[in-house]
Amino acid sequence: MAQQDEGGQERNLRVLARWRQTSRVLVEALPFILRYDGQTIVVKYGGHAMEGGVAQNFAQDIVLMKQTGINPVVVHGGGPQIGAMLKKLAIKSEFIDGLRVTDQAAIEVVEMVLTGSINKAIVSGINAAGGRAVGVSGKDGNLVIARKVMREKLDPATGKKVAVDLGFVGEPDTVNPDVLNTIMRSDLIPVIAPIGVGRAGETYNINADTVAGAVAGAVAAARLVLLTDVEGVLDRDGKLIPKLAVSEARALIADGTISGGMIPKIQTAIEAVESGVRAAVILDGRIPHVLLLELFTEHGAGTMITAE
């Protein structure tokens, strides 16, 4: 009987310890919940961040954000999924400056994958987690009016720069915030596929980071969050840099500390901040519930870009 009493007491102590830990988490989160009440936060959910079975955690984070008074707007990518489908259909993929050359055959596949399977899977996941999400693309309600992107490359034969046609690759020209505001006033969570429409009605494939940044600026978001497959910006010793001013971020690009695929993400973050977004954050989307760690704890979880 004494052993049973001791065992019961030990279990009670473990339960009390868990309750204390839960209460500490809630107390820490409360001021951040109040800070973001009624604010809009744009979350870019990258194609790489979708891999590894974190979709359910992401959906739960988005639903909790909505339930705590935040207005989340999700913009998703899908590069790996598009690449896999193009390969399956034997359609050649080519990249120039990190942008996929998109001809007529490719743009049909891109739109099908982004607005179809990926968009609806994210919407279904958020709804299954208790939210109410609706999927749209930049074509819906002329949400994202796009212009064609042109690039130049050096001709090795002549040494001169020549124009390169990327096909149906675009960038945001204008974003119509009324579409998103109408959705959010209906207590719905918008999930945006990064497909834009030209002024003549043509379809454009747009980089999801770029769309997220443009959307964040258009809706005057409190924060832009870029979920990807890296932990954030690293210094030359490989350590995470938790916070950067815009001027510091530009300096790190100039000296080569920030390089490769991180450069366009930082440029998107800088542009968003300069358009009025309070802060932009780059997070490792593979970490379970990383959105909650970033938004509702003091220490955060990635690299934050701010004006100063």
Identify whether residues 132 and 52 lie together within a single domain: yes
CATH code of residue 140: 3.40.1160.10
The reply to whether 120 falls in a domain is yes
Which of the pair, 128 or 286, is modelled with greater confidence? 128
Domain encompassing residue 245:
234-258
Identify whether residues 137 and 223 lie together within a single domain: yes
The per-residue pLDDT for 201 is 93
Identify whether residues 186 and 89 lie together within a single domain: yes
Other Cβ atoms closer than 10 A to 164: 14
Identify whether residues 167 and 191 lie together within a single domain: yes
Identify whether residues 123 and 217 lie together within a single domain: yes
Does the pLDDT at position 15 exceed 60?
A: no
The reply to whether 156 falls in a domain is yes
Identify whether residues 153 and 247 lie together within a single domain: no
Identify whether residues 248 and 197 lie together within a single domain: no
The reply to whether 157 falls in a domain is yes
Contact criterion met (CB below 8 Å) for 100 and 94: yes
Identify whether residues 199 and 148 lie together within a single domain: yes
Identify whether residues 133 and 245 lie together within a single domain: no
Instruction: Among 87-101, 181-195, 238-252, name the one with the lowest average pLDDT.
Output: 87-101
Pairing verdict, β 203-206 and 161-175: parallel
The reply to whether 295 falls in a domain is no
Give the residue among 5, 16, 44 at the shortest CA–CA distance from 206.
44
Identify whether residues 239 and 115 lie together within a single domain: no
The per-residue pLDDT for 51 is 58
Q: What span, in angstroms and rounded, lies between the C-alpha atoms of 48 and 137?
A: 20
Identify whether residues 113 and 240 lie together within a single domain: no
**pTM of this structure:** 0.85
Identify whether residues 96 and 208 lie together within a single domain: yes
Structure tokens at 83: 């690449």
Structure tokens at 266: 């930082």
Average pLDDT of the chain?
85
Encode pLDDT of 17-62 as tens digits.
555 555 565 556 666 677 778 899 999 997 666 655 458 889 999 9
Encode pLDDT of 108-166 as tens digits.
999 999 998 899 999 999 999 999 999 999 999 999 999 998 877 777 777 777 777 88
Region at 260 (left for phi over 0; alpha for psi -120 to 50; beta for the rest): left
Q: What span, in angstroms and rounded, lies between the C-alpha atoms of 66 and 204?
A: 30
The set of residues, in sequence order, having a beta carbon less than 8 Å from that of 45 and lying 6+ positions away, is 58, 74, 75, 76, 77, 122, 227, 285
Contact criterion met (CB below 8 Å) for 76 and 191: yes
Domain count, the chain: 2
Helix (H) or strand (E) holding 58: helix 55-67
The per-residue pLDDT for 17 is 58
Rounded to the nearest 5 degrees, what angle is found at the Cα of 209, between the Cα atoms of 205 and 213? 110
